[in-house]
Amino acid sequence: MPFSFLNPWLWLGALALAAPLWLHLRRKQETNLLPFSALRFLDDQPEPRASPWRLRNLVLFVLRALALLALVGAFAWPYVHEGNTAPIKESRVYVLDNTLSHQANDGFGHDRDRILRDLGKAAVDIQVAVVELSSTPRVLVSFGDDRAIAKRKLQELQPSFQRGSYLAAFRQASSLLANSLGGVKRIIFLGDNQENQWNENVNTPPFLRDLEIEMPKAGPPLLPNLSLSEPRVQRIFLGDKSLVNFTVKLSHAGEAKAANIVLRANEQVIFNRAVELEKQPETILLQAQWEAEPALWTRGEVTVEGVPDALAADNRVFFSLAPVVEGKVALLAQSHYLRLALSPEIMRGQWATRVLEPSKLSGELASNQDADVLVLESNYLQSADARKLLFRYLSNGRGVILLVNRLTPAIKGCLHELGFEAEGTVTAGKQNAEKFMFVFSNHPIFHPFLSPDYGNLMDVKVSKYIRLKTSQAMPLVFSEKGNGLFFQGTKTQGKLFVLPFGLDREHSTWPVHQTFIPFLDLTLQTARAEDPTPTNFEPGEVALVQLPAGSPVREVVLRDATMGSPLPSDGREARGEGNAAPAITRAPVEQGRAQVRLPDKPGLYASSYDDRDQIEKVFSINPSPKESQLVYVDASAALKVWQVAESKGQSLKPKVGLPARAKISLAGILQQRLWWWMELAGLGALMLEMVVADLKRRAES
């Protein structure tokens, strides 16, 4: 704090100084002085001179000097922060990029070391803060932290796998500087200038005002990288086999000619082989399938190795697949193929089919024992009960597969309610049957058919179908003539799949095609109501787990389920024997929901309820694929947009104002231990001086 005569502490200190002086003068008695009545007879004697100062009592002098020094010192600088009372010249915020991409070539480590070096060199009149750029930017080091604490926090900081927002980090830094004391306010950005980061928030109103911004030096525009992303896994039943179909994207940038892929599932190596990358697109879709016990959790990971690879942290992805729970199908159809395909002999425990009697639909409605999916042919929609059943399934969030094999006004009306308009029947005949021209292969139903093992969908022919138009459904398959041959409704709560033709030989060859059974199984799987809780997340995200109404669950517990970690239950309820991995997170359930903050480290994490061992879900944590795009820009156009343009005539650099005063607060004063010690020392010296002076006076008298 700058010295000022108007400082009330100065006057208080002066009063404290004057007190011992006054006591001293009061106490001092004139010695060697004799009052006399007849001095007139000695008027020629000399007058006394002012006696020179001489030290009469060393102990008293020392005590008084100590008291004065202690009190003066205490009131001279009552606000000590490790001796730093100088005005702040500069306030500096380091934005440290701690996203996955910045681990390339150990960029994070180098920048962290730079901050540590700067902390050691920075003068006391420079206040430093550090903002960690991650999924949620946070203030790692605040202005109030001393240098030792700041260094410790930085050294403890580990590189993360998260993706963060440059914009959020700069906003955080700007907010810090808005309340800082320095005359110069500076942001030093230590990141990799990833192109997709800067492009994400270009159109943001300016908010950086009167700040100096230092950007990192330009590096190479591109770094070589091998990465894996978007793992997808499904169960497919092919005959007697229960298969797991797995796909993953392999991205490669740079000069890598080959990469070795290793796929592990349930602690078994599914495949381990090299993939040629030369003359391959930048992104390659890898697919694998293997047999897996449907009743068990499937946990797996895929890794890629190759050189050159600037970022190794994105070379591994995780996936999991829940065990099969037998689904229930309600069938209201006459198609023999359909009945056969859904028979227990074919479905073998994946689907339990209950054939509904058209005459007993009212009882079905009354019993309210709906299956997971309703498969019905449109001719049953003539019945009001059937229509009620259809809409009940959809409104309750259950799936419906509707086969439009007949049109009547009633059926048209029902289709209209579902968002479809029937425009007539297309009868191509067997000779001119139309093939599937386009199949939405990215859809979960058709994605496995990218592998030829499940057959070729393009061989399916449809000879008679209803031409449907809709604006409330998504066509997934198109005929040669561009008509939709398979739709997914988007209007209802439950999933609706509509086939504009019947599953019989009259309409199509599909029932006898190789792809029919897998198609049916996948469609049933997709139509079945899913748990709204997703299981694939990026590091640091928050999963919202919803529980049924009235659930007694108190908390959701998260444990490490990466391969190698003990997994106490594989979908079956088991009595725990203490083999479970320790809990990583415990999220309380409030109003039927729990917010589970997922770990930063990629992997598999199992959630359970309370102290039960049964696994409810397995979350797959994989880095964002965007972090693997090591493409950099030199100059950031976004930064120029974010900065408030200076008005004409004003200097671009912020003015260096007067040193700001340190804020005075009682709490700050009370925390000044040195100040209190000096006060006590001064008072102690004063008390001791009084005692010594009193003893001396008594001795003299």
CB of 25 to other proteins, least distance (A): 7
Q: Residue 441: phi, psi to the nearest 5?
A: -75, -15
**Spatial separation of the C-alpha atoms in residues 326 and 538, rounded to whole Å:** 30
CB of 687 to other proteins, least distance (A): 25
**Cβ-based nearer residue to other proteins, 52 or 429:** 52
Give residue for tokens 């950031």: 636
Q: Do the Cβ atoms of 670 and 235 come closer than 8 Å?
A: no
Binding of other proteins by 47 (CB under 8 A)? yes
Task: Select from 30, 240, 267, 573 the one that contacts other proteins (CB under 8 A).
Answer: 30
Expressed in angstroms, the distance from the first to the final Cα of the chain is 49
Contact pick of 28, 56, 336, 469 for other proteins (by CB under 8 A): 28
Segment lying near other proteins (by CB under 8 A), choices 28-36, 242-250, 317-325, 561-569? 28-36
| 399-403 vs 373-377, strand pairing mode | parallel
Sign of CA dihedral 499, 505, 508, 514: positive
Phi then psi for 147, rounded to 5 degrees? -65, -40
Interface with other proteins, residue 55, by CB under 8 A: no
Q: How far is CA 291 from the centre of its chain?
A: 34
Pattern 136-175, binding to other proteins, x per CB under 8 A? ----------------------------------------
Binding to other proteins (CB under 8 A): which residues in 299-338? none
Residue 42 vs 58, nearer CB to other proteins: 42
30-38, 107-115, 406-414, 691-699 -> range binding other proteins (CB under 8 A): 30-38
- Of 3 and 36, the one with the shorter C-beta distance to other proteins is 36
Q: For residue 514, give the 3-state DSSP assignment.
A: coil
Task: Give the interface segment with other proteins, choosing from 42-50, 173-181, 211-219, 391-399 (CB under 8 A).
Answer: 42-50
Q: Report the alpha-carbon distance of residue 317 to residue 300 in Å, rounded.
A: 9
**In the complex, minimum distance from the CB of residue 55 to other proteins, in angstroms, rounded to a whole number:** 16
Candidate list 8, 35, 52, 532; residue touching other proteins; CB under 8 A: 35
The DSSP element (H or E) to which 8 belongs, if any, is helix 8-27
Q: Is the Cβ of residue 40 or residue 575 nearer to other proteins in the bound state? A: 40
Least gap, CB of 27 to other proteins (angstroms): 11
Least CB distance to other proteins at residue 53 (A): 11
Q: Of 11 and 22, which has the nearer Cβ to other proteins?
A: 22
Q: How far is the CB of 60 from other proteins (least distance, A)?
A: 16
Q: How far apart, in whole angstroms, are the C-alpha atoms of residue 538 and residue 530?
A: 20
Output the smallest distance, CB 29 to other proteins, in A: 8
SS3 state of residue 292: coil
Q: Which amino acid does the sequence have at 701?
A: S
Chosen residue from 6, 42, 123, 667 binding other proteins by CB under 8 A: 42
Coil/strand/helix, residue 358: helix
Among 6, 38, 55, 549, binds other proteins (CB under 8 A): 38
The sign of the dihedral angle between the CA atoms of 415, 421, 427, 430 is negative
Q: What is the arrangement of strands in the sheet containing 617-621, beginning at the earlier edge strand?
A: 536-537, 617-621, 603-609, 555-560, 583-588
CA angle 50/56/61 to nearest 5° reads: 110
Examine residue 46 and tell whether it contacts other proteins (CB under 8 A). yes
Report the C-alpha gap between 473 and 490 in whole angstroms: 5
Choice from 3, 6, 43, 649 touching other proteins (CB under 8 A): 43
DSSP state of 423: E
| Residue number, 360 or 697, with CB nearest to other proteins | 697
Asked whether the CA dihedral 366, 369, 373, 377 is positive or negative, the reply is negative
CB of 668 to other proteins, least distance (A): 41
Query: Does residue 697 touch other proteins according to CB under 8 A?
Result: no
Asked if residues 407 and 421 have their Cβ atoms less than 8 Å apart, the reply is no
**DSSP state letter for 102:** G
Amino acid code (one letter) for 153: K
Name which of 21 and 218 has its Cβ closer to other proteins: 21
Tell me which of 5, 8, 25, 673 binds other proteins, using CB under 8 A. Answer: 25
Question: Is residue 48 at the binding interface for other proteins, with CB under 8 A as the rule?
Answer: yes
**Residue 403: Cβ-neighbour burial (10 angstroms; 0-12, 13-18, 19+):** buried
Closest C-alpha among 356, 357, 329, 332 to residue 343: 329
For 239-297, list the strands marked E by DSSP. Answer: 241-253, 258-265, 268-276, 283-291
Tell me which stretch binds other proteins (CB under 8 A): 24-32, 226-234, 294-302, 540-548. 24-32
Supply the minimum distance, in Å, between the C-beta of residue 120 and other proteins: 56
Closer by beta carbon to other proteins, 33 or else 658: 33
- Establish if 8 lies at the interface with other proteins (CB under 8 A): no
Using CA atoms, how far apart are residues 270 and 291, in angstroms rounded to an integer?
Answer: 10
Count, residues near other proteins per rule CB under 8 A: 20
Does the protein bind other proteins through residue 700 (CB under 8 A)?
no
Nearer to other proteins, 50 or 658 (CB): 50
Minimum Å distance from CB 35 to other proteins?
A: 5
Closest contact distance (angstroms) between CB of 26 and other proteins is 9
Minimum Å gap between C-beta 61 and other proteins is 16
Member of 3, 5, 6, 40 binding other proteins (CB under 8 A)? 40
Asked if 127 and 149 count as a contact pair (C-beta separation under 8 A), the reply is no
Amino acid residing at 152: R
24 binds other proteins (CB under 8 A): no
Residues 6+ apart with CB under 8 A from 138: 131, 132, 172
Q: Find the shortest distance in angstroms from Cβ 13 to other proteins.
A: 24
Q: How far apart are CA 104 and CA 115, in angstroms?
A: 18
Q: Which is nearer to other proteins, 40 or 698 (CB)?
A: 40
Residues that bind other proteins (CB under 8 A): 25, 28, 30, 32-48
